[in-house]
Structure 1
C-alpha cells in the first residue's frame, strides 16, 4: 500500500501540487520513470481521505493540484525574487538538445490595486553548452520596447541585439519564449494542465514526501496517463518540490513509448538549482549598463 506523510507546509493548508525528481547532474541523463505502482490511483484517493477528514477527492489528481495551488499562493504572497542555476532542455522538431545551463536572476511581477509595481524581470548568463557560453539575455516586462536585450559570447559579443521575444531569432531552438520562464509560470502551467486532466480518467498519481535532492528533502509528485490520448499532454510528469522553500525545483515530462514495451521518451525538463530567494534584486540587476555584465554600448 502506498503511504504518504505530507510535510508541514502542505498539511497546514491541506494543499498539493505537481513536483519534481532530483535534477540531473551536469549532462547525466534523466532517470527513466518507473512503472506506476499497482493501486497508485486508489492510493491517491486514500491520501485524499486522510487529508480531507474522510472526504475522498473528486479526482485522483486533486491532491497534486492542491499542492501546486498552495505553492503558487506562496510565490505570489512571499517571494519577490530569486537566483538559481537554471538547467533546461526541451524537444523541438523531434530533437532533444543537450542541457543548457545559465545563471538566472528573476524578479516576480507584483501588483497593487491591479497595477504593476514590480515588472517581471529576467537575466540569464549562459554557461554551457559551448555554443551558448557567454550569452547574456535581459527581458523586463514593459521595458526596452518589449525586446530581449542580448549579448552574444565570443566575437559576436561586440554588438548588443534587441530581439522580439516571440520572433524567429529569439525562438530558434526554443519551444517557449522567455516570457514563460520562472517558477510562477511553471506552477501556473502545471495547474492549467492538471485542471484540464481532471475532465478525464486514466490518471495515476503518486506522492512521496521523502524524496531527496542532495541534502534537501523534497516532495515528489508523479502523474501518469497510461494510455495515449489526444487530450493528454504527456505520458508521465514528475515535479520535485523543495520542502523548505515550498517551491518546485524540477519538472520533467515524458511522452509515450514509440514501440510496445519501449521506454517513455523524455520531452522536456526544467531545473532550478542552488536557489536563493528574496535576495533583494534591484533594477540594476536587469540593466545592460550594469558594470558586472559584459554588454557593449
Structure 2
C-alpha cells in the first residue's frame, strides 16, 4: 500500500486522539481533586471505645443521678502497703450546678462497718459547710468525741491516698476520662470490652485496659471497670501495677466497689447532718 493511501486513516486516528485527550485530562484532574478533597481518616486509638463508655456514663450521672446509697468497699496502696478491705455504708448526694453556682453541694456520709480498726467510725463531709472540714467520730471508746478535720490534713489523710473530696462515682468517672484522654497521646495500650459480663447477678459492661510496658506517663499496668448495664454507672474499679519481677503477677494497687447500688432514693440535707438521730454523733 502506498504511503499516500495511509494518510486519511492516520488523519482520523490523530483527530480521534486529539478529541479524547481533554476528556482524559479532565477525568484525571477530577480524580486528583477528589483525592485531595477527602478528609484524612483519623485512626481510632484502642482506648477510644473505653473513653466513649466512660464519657457517656459521666454525662448520664451529671444529668440524671441526684443521689445514691451503696455498700462501699475499698482499699488503696499507701506508701507501698496495701491495707485490708474497708467496708462502709455510703450515702452521696451529687453536686448540682446552675451555671457556675453550686445549687446542691457534694455531700458524703460514711458509716464504717469493718475491719475492727475502723468499725463504728462515722464521717460527714458537705462541700462548703463546716468551713470545709469533715466531721468525724471514731468507734469504741472514742465514739463520744466528735471532731472536725481538714479533709486534706495529716490526720484525715492518714492511711489514705485520696481525700474525701474525691470520693464517689462521678469523681471516679472524671479521673478515668482524664486518664484515657492522656493515654490517647501514646501507644502501647490494649483494650478489651465485654458488654454482657456477669458480675455476681449484675449484668455489666466490663472494660479492661492494659499498658504492657511500664512508662512514666502510664498510671497503671492493668485496670478493670465494671459498668452496671441497668444504671449505666461503674460499680467496681480495680487497678494493678506492673509485676515486680519478669513473669511475676501484677501488683494490686487500688480497688473501689459500690455494691447494692440504689440511685435517686431522695436523700436530703438531713442525711448529711450530725443532728440526724439515726447517727451516733455527739
TM-score, structure 1 length as denominator?
0.80
Q: Choose 1 or 2 for highest CA Rg.
A: 2
Task: Give the counterpart of 1:62 among 40, 48, 57.
Answer: 48
Counterparts of 1:67 and 1:191, CA distance in 2:
9
Which protein is richer in helix relative to its size?
2
1:224 corresponding residue in structure 2: 210
Give the number of the structure with larger relative contact order, counting CA–CA contacts within 8 Å between residues 6 or more apart. 1
Deviations 1:153-179 (A, max 9, x none): 011111101000000000000000000
Flag as ranges the 4+ runs of structure 1 deviating above 2 A.
55-58
User: SS at 1:192's partner residue?
Assistant: helix
Return the offset for 1:112: 1.2
- Picking from 187, 204, 210, the partner of 2:173 is 187
Residues 90-137 of structure 1: CA deviation (Å, up to 9, x unaligned): 000110000000000000000113211100000000000001000000
User: d(CA) in 2 for partners of 1:272 and 1:57?
Assistant: 35
- 1:214 matched to which residue of 2? 200
Alpha-carbon shift at residue 216 of structure 1 (Å): 1.1
**Alignment partners' CA distance in 2, 1:255 and 1:63:** 22
Instruction: Show the 5 A alignment for 1:1-297.
Output: 58-296=44-282
Change (3 A) 1:214 1:147: same
Say if 1:64 and 1:276 are closer, same or farther in 2 by CA, change over 3 A.
same
**Which secondary structure does the structure 2 equivalent of 1:170 belong to?**
helix
- SS of corresponding position for 1:169: helix
Instruction: Give per-residue Cα distances to partners, 1:241-284, cap 9 Å, x unaligned.
Output: 00001000000000000001000000000000000000000010
Q: Which runs of 5+ in 2 are unaligned?
A: 1-40
Q: Give the aligned CA root-mean-square deviation in angstroms.
A: 0.9
Q: Is the 1:57–1:63 contact (alpha carbons within 8 Å) kept by the matching residues of 2?
A: no
Residue 85 of structure 1: SS of its match in structure 2? Answer: strand
**1:58 CA displacement:** 2.2
Look up the SS of the partner of 1:230 in the other structure. coil
Please report how far the alpha carbon of residue 210 of structure 1 lies from its aligned counterpart in structure 2 after TM superposition: 1.4
Separation in 2 of the partners of 1:114 and 1:97? 38
